[in-house]
Structure 1
């Protein structure tokens, strides 16, 4: 696919239009005779981004389409269905878009409407190819700082693929690339802190997999480019285009998962124009780093493109005696083999080492007092965690014909952890704590995920269908070790200052490790997005999900019975769009999830409990008001309750019910003032079990966040900042120990200018300005004040 490298002047553009109209081949089908375009066609175009919608219409009406991606980037199209002429269908697609279509026979040119058009700035016309590269270019232009970080498209609604955010009958938010860059995020924790609906449960710096709380439910809810995985240690964000966060059950869309939601990280794809970006900076403390981001096309025809992200980071964090040393190399290649076939490839190497990882706190029969000084390291400086990850991912999209698209993907992720140390601080007296230090031998994981899907568009009378059906899966094969010596609990140590001791003399590790079992989730799914007219639609879905687990010890014996459980999980959503800027929906969805794993502190440590069924009812509204996207949702979620009983056994008993309302806003309040904000209010209760009527542990009834940017009168200078509030939460299941409410604030400044004619962006962010020490939850403390700064040059 050929792409222009510069924009022609108006006279050249006029000549180009004339030549294109007469000589350019249709990229969707052979041009129809001029007389035929005056007839009617059976049109079925679902609501989606405008670029793909125009491509779909061009295929169905056999049109030759000419449009520049800049014109359609960030715009959405309503659903269009029925027996229509090409002109009627085009007018409906372009309603309220500020664009118009000029039709000459089978040739269609998309322009800015004459009322606002300026011929001197009209983008160059481009004859589009038929596949996803146009969608990728549009996605890269969404969610910019200039748009107030407001996204309009979801790249992957699980099995359903890409959809318009406003027309999706689920509560989903997007943290786009420019926002990730501008807050100088270095881990998912920075994104979870900013996003209105998420809270960090387990910080990444603890050596455990980073966990997130959504709608009051904890989980390792992660996916990459729509492909599920169990969890992810040492996650990185520099190679991600965006992070898409689904609130609530995702069983129909992603398979077995906790009911809180799903975090889908989307990899950066190749760019049409050459990209060379180098950032040098500091993530806080003495964590210096350099990040290179490079993209472009290999060939003049624009069929093969590349993207390369390289990161090197080393130094101490804002916590005393805590260090991070990591290397990331992440490459992507896209190959538009034909106008119908697109292949995408990713290769990632990530080596991550931390020293002085943060401690896990366990309070045994005494209440949490004042949080210890967050600046101090309450672990040991010699506690280490090493992680090496190699990942390969491939995707294929083939448009068989005008009505059928086939999608396939496969990911293989190998994880090697040669060293993993942990520190547990046990508090049984307000006078001090005892500390256990443990060293584990090498462990390994092999994650795989795959999908094979078909999208089929057809009409049944006046109804337009987009049927999606297929198969997807994920699995985790693990290798463990019996080498896990510890010091036992030593102490007590005072709370006024950490007590450092020499590195423990653990016995030599002669254990070679063993195959410890696997977890597999397979899913057969069918969904039908039915468009009744421009206002009404319904999404029906059914997922046949199966969870299989096997757990072995070093002798090859099963430590518990294998289980193989299946369930049909339905989903139904009704969508009403009374006007183009407003969508309302009501939905019901069920999901299956693997039972929880007993914590190391329980007598049945690491036991996997039985699978659980969750159910959710939700009513939501999404409105685009000016340059703001406003969303709200009422939800009711229920699942099995898991807890550690009085006999120190981790078990399932009773139900956990969360009812709540959430609200979010993203975009521009004024031309100079941007916000990303939201609030979630929860009423969470336990039904049955020993804790009937109690509130679940570590569930905040209210969280409220606002991140804002304001463009100052000095050109290129922007003031940034955020305020994040979490109300009180119970620190134990019996509701006898309560953590206080906490409010933290960030502040920053960004300056965009040019140096030697090249774009230069300078950033400074101060997190937790007041340097407040607080409990993140009952197990971990929050991060102290840190100062991050960087300089990014593009050339």
Structure 2
């Protein structure tokens, strides 16, 4: 759904819906019923609140509900006013003061646990409190949905498609929302750079390659499965620039209920990129950047709001960066321009985003495939770029979306979004498949073009109501996704080379073979219905739902319709439960099913481009989340099942072979436990097992490309005595992985250390931040990934050499 802030309707009582006289009294003393561990708070005790930006009446009511106090308000004082909401730690009176800031109104106590709102005046008895600073909030996040948790690296609320926006403590899933601030401070240029902080996510393609690809909980996720404001297929197919993102939601586990079926059928999780919006404070920033070897660039970020009540907003982000990387004869030239417009009225919220990106890479690296008669090569001996100088990747993507929400009344909201993308991709590449222990491989040049067109839409209605003591939030949504693409190209004469001592080969000129022209159309339609039932004043939440999905794929080869097309449909049920044991502790469990598009045989197989039928994935998960106020810890145990695929090493035929079961445990931590010291990271353990393989040959083996342990831990320290100066560090570890289902080839475990510093200061009233980061400080060479066990083209991913990053941001 569109990622525009709005409180769950059933979680509060609307002032406007109950006006029956000149003064409205709202008695909002919430009892906790028969549930254990009731929590009571003194009026001057600070606790954590979440109240989204909304009408002032609704914001006051929502805060009073959470605080457990009574509030009496004259409707004439609040009608037509809005509040920016709040998120953070407050006393009762401090929280009310924050909500009323700038309204000309003040809070007045009228008894124990009871208040009224009056016009501001210096009269005795009126509480005049300066608004308390929101814990961990940064000026880049103007709405409640984007407000950051303590430390500013993770947002409290994330977009959850069909279910709307929710606080992480009210979410029956494992989810982390990374802020634009952490992306900026890490100098993340692409999505892969940002996700290096997540223990559940690993990059499975070289950083200097043609495209980015990931695994979540051990299963593949392609860029085409990354949503943009809730819409799939809109973002660039091969690489996503982070300068366009206000934040990034990472949801772990099958997400078909809340987001629908993704284009490539990811099952380990989902990622949603939320675009930037103009804030109430004007934004004018320029960032100059440098990345070794000689990449130099600049980025602008401009945002303004105007009109009555700042109803209209405009935000523009532009990037230009070019130069050589740390790999010899490799260069990257990237450009990005994204314009965001939005309107926020009393009942209507609208937004549109238009973007264009271009990326040119010379000598992009490929994964290294290991032949049946070759051992796993030693990464420490790979010193030079094994990609030919003439190889290249050229990508052009133009995209746009329109999103909207309309409050029909105080309980019902309708929403919708549409989007489109047109892309043109041109590659001149070659595979790297070593055939012996010496590292020899054949350079087989291939000219490959791909043109894509995407159209997608979603629409829904959300209704909150009560049935006796039970609250409901019913969501009904429909989705549609269409993509067509054309693949074509040519092959050229082969020449020998070596992984350890690459040989320059001639630039391809005369094709020896023209590839067939393959045209494919994919259509996904779906309808989802879910109800979140709240018991005991919403301390216990049940979410029950299902999504009907239809997957229709047709293909043509040189104008002849293929015989592997399909048209399948299925209803996938899902359920989640969350119990707020205390204000600090939430317990949850979920069951998720998803229908995914079938795999397509890769170019390295003899049945290239064969399309397989859709498959079903299932997940069971249970977990706990504890919010210490300035530090949050989440834990989860899970099981995910899906079919396993492989390319037979003897016949070179690609197809399904049994199933894989991933049993895992996750632990994550984020926040600022001590003033000036921030943590971000976690650990994931996965026991990945193959079952029901053909003839039982591989039963009990570990699924390939799945390390048992992933560990990420990052820290930031504001140096005492040096205001504005911060030291940063991050360590990343993955245990050993198998390359094949037979478990005969294995890569070693690896670890990487990053370090950095930044200094924020002012010059002539202008804010300046200088950042310096070093990735892979020890310059270790290792195989970072063996691909992904459910991937059609497994292979080894070489680590990125030591890279220096410098940037300076100036705010005007």
Q: CA deviation at 1:716?
A: 0.8
Residue 51 of structure 2: aligned partner? 50
Query: Structure 2 CA distance, aligned partners of 1:322 and 1:407?
Result: 45
Equivalent of 1:651, from 647, 652, 655? 655
| Cα distance change on mapping 1:65 and 1:730 into 2, 3 Å | farther
Inter-partner Cα distance in structure 1 for 2:183 and 2:219: 24
Query: In 1, Cα distance between the equivalents of 2:798 and 2:556?
Result: 34
How big is each residue's C-alpha offset from its partner over 1:573-611, in whole Å with a ceiling of 9 and x where there is no partner? 111101111111111111110111212111111222111
Partner residue in 2 for 1:597: 600
Q: 1:564 aligns with which of 553, 557, 567?
A: 567
Cα distance in 1, alignment partners of residues 662 and 174 from structure 2: 16
CA distance in 1, matches of 2:16, 2:512: 69
SS at match of 2:189: coil
Other-structure match for 2:246 = 241
- The answer to whether structure 1 residue 38 and structure 2 residue 25 are counterparts is yes
Query: C-alpha displacement at 1:499, in angstroms?
Result: 2.1
Whole-angstrom distance in 2 between the partners of 1:235 and 1:421: 21
Match of 2:714 among 707, 712, 719: 707
| 2:483 is the alignment partner of 1:486 | no
The 1:472/1:525 distance shift into structure 2, 3 A limit, reads same
Which residue number in structure 2 is paired with residue 680 of structure 1?
684
Shift of 1:623: 0.9
Aligned 8 A contact 2:643 2:659 in 1: yes
For residue 383 of structure 1, what is the aligned residue in structure 2? 391
Q: CA deviation at 1:736?
A: 0.7
**Could you give the per-residue CA deviations for residues 337-394 of structure 1, whole angstroms, max 9, x where no partner exists?**
x411111010001111111101231111122131155662110122111111111110
Aligned equivalents of 1:403 and 1:498: distance in 2? 66
Aligned runs of 1:528-677 on 2, under 5 Å?
528-534=531-537, 535-554=539-558, 556-645=559-648, 646-677=650-681
Moved more, 171-180 or 61-70: 61-70
User: Which residue is 1:18 aligned to?
Assistant: none
Distance 1:207 1:548 in 2: 28
Contact 1:192–1:212 at 8 Å: present in 2 too? no
Partner of 2:226: 222
Matched, 1:465 2:465: no
Checking the alignment, whether the CA contact within 8 Å between 1:721 and 1:746 is kept in structure 2 is: yes
- The answer on 1:358 being equivalent to 2:365 is yes
The C-alpha deviation readout for 1:54-94, integer Å capped at 9, x for no partner, is 7646699995559986761457999xxxxxxxx9x999x99
1:394 paired residue number:
402
SS of residue matched to 1:174: strand
**TM-score relative to the length of structure 2:** 0.84
Coordinate RMSD, CA, aligned? 3.5
Whether 1:440 aligns to 2:441 is: no
CA contact (8 A) 2:296 2:323 kept: yes
Which residue is 1:756 aligned to? 764
Q: What are the equivalent positions in structure 2 for 1:256-405 lying under 5 Å apart?
A: 256=261, 257-299=265-307, 301-336=309-344, 338-365=345-372, 366-371=374-379, 376-405=384-413
Displacement, 1:732? 1.4
Distance change (3 Å), C-alpha of 1:123 and 1:734 = closer
Secondary structure of 2:435's counterpart equals strand
2:303, 2:316 within 8 Å by CA — same for their partners in 1?
Answer: yes
Alignment partner of 2:729: what SS? strand
Q: In the TM superposition, what whole-angstrom CA distance separates every residue of 1:493-523 from its partner, at most 9, and x where no partner exists?
A: 3444332233222449999x96702112211
- Matching of residue 452 in structure 1 with residue 459 in structure 2: yes
What's the TM-score, normalizing by structure 1?
0.85
Tell me how far 1:428 sits from its aligned partner. Answer: 1.4
1:142 — aligned with what?
A: 148
- 1:758-777 alignment runs, 5 A limit: 758-777=766-785
Q: Please give the secondary structure, in 1, of the residue aligned with 2:257.
A: helix
User: How many Å separate the matches in 2 of 1:62 and 1:565?
Assistant: 57
Partner of 2:256: 251
The structure-2 alpha-carbon separation of the partners of 1:673 and 1:386, relative to structure 1 and needing over 3 Å to count, comes to same
Question: 1:485/1:514 Cα in 2 relative to 1: closer, same or farther (>3 Å)?
Answer: closer
Distance 1:679 1:71 in 2: 34
- Contact kept, 8 Å, 1:548 with 1:565, in 2: the verdict is yes
Task: Specify the alignment match of 2:742 in structure 1.
Answer: 734
SS of residue matched to 1:388: strand
Separation in structure 2 between the aligned mates of residue 596 and residue 727 of structure 1, nearest angstrom: 27
Instruction: Return the alpha-carbon distance in structure 2 between the equivalents of residues 77 and 401 of structure 1.
Output: 31
Query: Is the alpha carbon distance of 1:269 and 1:506 closer, same or farther for their aligned partners in structure 2, counting shifts above 3 Å?
Result: farther
Structure 1 distance, partners of 2:462, 2:29, is: 18
State whether residues 207 and 800 of structure 2, in contact with CA within 8 Å, keep that contact through their aligned partners in structure 1: no
Deviation of residue 416 (structure 1)?
A: 1.0
| Distance in 1, Cα, partners of 2:472 & 2:17 | 25
Contact 1:307 1:332 in 2 (8 A): yes
Task: Indicate conservation of the 8 Å contact 1:222/1:229, yes or no.
Answer: yes
Q: Any idea what SS the aligned residue of 1:641 has?
A: strand
Tell me what 2:43 maps to. Answer: none
Deviations along 1:167-222, one digit per CA (max 9) or x if unpaired, are 100000122111000110111221222222100012453214x2111111112231
Counterpart residue number, 1:785: 802
Paired with 1:135 and 1:62, the residues of 2 have a C-alpha distance of 31
The answer to whether residue 237 in structure 2 is matched with residue 232 in structure 1 is: yes
CA drift at 1:559? 2.3
Contact preservation (8 Å) 1:412, 1:448: yes
Matches within 5 A, 1:687-698: 687-689=691-693, 690-698=697-705
Contact 2:53 2:82 in 1 (8 A): no
Asked if structure 2 preserves the Cα contact closer than 8 Å seen for 1:541 and 1:571, the reply is: yes
Question: Which of these residues, 422, 428, 436, is aligned with residue 429 of structure 1?
Answer: 436
* Structure-2 change in CA distance of 1:102 and 1:505 (3 Å): farther
Q: Is the 8 A contact 1:150 1:629 kept in 2?
A: no
- Alpha-carbon separation, structure 2, partners of 1:48 and 1:637: 34
Distance in 2, Cα, partners of 1:77 & 1:50:
14
Q: Greater CA deviation, 172-181 or 31-40?
A: 31-40
CA contact (8 A) 1:375 1:784 kept: no
Who is 2:755 aligned against? Answer: 747
**Matches of 1:278 and 1:789, distance apart in 2:** 14
Alpha-carbon distance change, 647 to 243 in structure 1, aligned in 2, over 3 angstroms: same
1:24 aligns to what?
none
Is 1:517 matched up with 2:520?
Answer: yes
How far is the alpha carbon of 1:299 from its aligned partner? 2.9
Q: Is the 8 A contact 1:65 1:108 kept in 2?
A: no
Q: SS of the residue aligned with 2:581?
A: strand
Distance 1:756 1:725 in 2: 43
